Amino acid sequence: MNLHRLVADVLVVVHLGYVSFVVIGLVAVLLGGWLRWAWVRNFCFRVIHLAMIGVVVAESIGGIVCPLTTWEAQLRIAAGEEGQPGSFVGRLVHQLMFFDAPEWAFTLAYCLFGAAVLATFFLVPPRRARMVPKQPPV
């Protein structure tokens, strides 16, 4: 198997993981807020989640192609492939994540999704861990 093709397939799976974290994270926060799951209020988790969709929104508004997409395409070319990913896993993951639509539709979707993630900061506010002061030695 060609190393470039393998790395491109791994990159597609990493990309799917990124997308999944953002999408499932929003669902988990909303569901967890309703079911009173404490972990969905974790401040670090929530800031990372917001930052991840924030990067996507900023790229989209700025007309920047996602670096993961660019790297995958470059790896596929280096592997001698054209068009769609070559392996079964690569094709499957690629078809789950990418479809044809006008660019403005993606930008709108990313902005709306980003706004929904931001709204959860008010609907299900995160909480910082409380620092318990150390007791002086006796």
Tokens at 115, concatenated: 């706004």
- Give the relative orientation of helices 3-35 and 103-123 as an angle to the nearest 10 degrees: 40
Give the residue from 40, 42, 43, 57 showing the smallest Cα distance to 116: 57
The residue with tokens 């930008």 is 107
pLDDT score of 44 more than 90: yes
User: What is the rounded average pLDDT of the residues 45-74?
Assistant: 93
pLDDT for 69 equals 86
CA 15 to CA 45: how far, in whole Å? 19
pLDDT for 87 equals 56
pTM here is 0.81
10 pLDDT band (50/70/90 cuts)?
very high
